[in-house]
Amino acid sequence: MQFDLKDLRLFLLVAQVGSLSRAAEQSHLSLAATSARIRALEEQAGMPLLVREARGVRLSPPGEAFLFHARAMLQQTRQLQAELQEYGAGLRGHLRVFANTTAVTDFLPDILSAYLMEHPNISVDLQERPNARIADDIREGRADLGIIAGEVDTHGLTSVHFSTDRLVLVTPPTPAWRAVAQLPFAQVLHERFVGMHRGSTLQTFLDGVGQQLGHTLKLRIQLASFDAMCRMVAAGVGIAVVPESGAQRYAAAAHVHQIRLLDAWAVRPRYMLVRTLDGLPAHVQALMAAVQAHHAPCA
């Protein structure tokens, strides 16, 4: 099937207003021309996309699916146009980075601020994604560089290990908590938690661990940074699971106690993912080198 972008935009308008006549008026076309273009779309699809009714039209089930993909195609077209305009204005490279919560919120901001200053003609699209989906995004070409933690199926990809972090429990510094140095996660499932924001890869992972153990985590509040989480914990709102690197960065200022989790999943090796290192653009290699340098042991 080959679709004209103008016809896709017209279909979106028809779906939005629920009327061929109103869509024709808003797009400055005749009703006959509008109807003909929509029928041509239906002929290509091989099925009716609209249900014609006395007072307008509504989407058929295939029409709902068509609308979803039409929106995605038009969005990708807009992104393509924007990127080409940037290249026309002097941009030399565009880098799409999909990463997990810890990378997006904890260490990539510092790395990218320096990287972008050193590479003024490069733009970066940074998006948070679940670890497992990042590998799929790299395979299917939706991202140039992925950053993941933990065990993920990376078959067919090149993975570069750059550090290993650990998830730890942070608690208020009360005498009862300070007496605990380590424990399994199952022992604290009855507690109230301070969590990461809804949809974050870390929170989604912890929710899944809780469900496997037969519990739903009791979340009192969900936040967007490890710093804010540690401060809430220090105030006695609840306990939280955060990366050890984040806990060490914020623990002193927030006055929280760290407890080592004994669960195997708490150890989180971190990897950068690319499809292949052969022919990898120089600006991608430069960012990978910056990530490695950031996590290199101090001499």
> Residue 14's Cα: distance from chain center in Å?
31
Percent of the chain with pLDDT over 90: 65
Query: pLDDT tens-digit profile of 8-34?
Result: 999 999 999 999 999 999 999 999 999
- With beta carbons less than 8 A apart as the criterion, state whether 42 and 50 touch: yes
Whether the per-residue pLDDT at 80 is higher than 90: the answer is no
Task: Report strand pairing: 192-196 vs 158-171.
Answer: unpaired
Identity of the amino acid at 91:
L
Query: For the chain, where do the domains classified as CATH 1.10.10.10 start and end?
Result: 5-87
Helix (H) or strand (E) holding 84: helix 61-88
Strands 192-196 and 218-223: parallel
**Separation between Cα atoms, residue 194 and residue 20, nearest integer Å:** 51
pLDDT of residue 299: 46
Arithmetic mean of pLDDT, 272-296:
91
Query: In whole angstroms, how far apart are CA 185 and each of 31, 48, 244?
Result: 64, 53, 15
Kindly give, in sequence order, each residue whose CB lies less than 8 Å from that of residue 13, ignoring residues fewer than 6 positions away. Answer: 23, 26, 27
Instruction: Please say whether the beta carbons of 1 and 45 come within 8 A.
Output: yes
The architecture in CATH of the region 93-299 reads: 3-Layer(aba) Sandwich (3.40)
Nearest in space to 59 (alpha carbons), one of 108, 118, 11: 11
User: pLDDT confidence of 92, banded at 50, 70, 90?
Assistant: low
Question: Please, what is the average pLDDT of the chain?
Answer: 89
Instruction: Give phi and psi for 220, each to the nearest 5.
Output: -90, -35
Please report the pLDDT score of residue 143 as a whole number: 92
**What residue ranges of the chain are covered by domains with CATH 3.40.190.290?**
93-299
Question: What DSSP designation does 2 have?
Answer: -
Q: Per the structure block, which two tokens stand in for 68?
A: 């979803």
What's the confidence (pLDDT) of residue 255?
A: 85
CATH code of the region 5-87: 1.10.10.10
The pLDDT, as a whole number, for residue 269 is 93
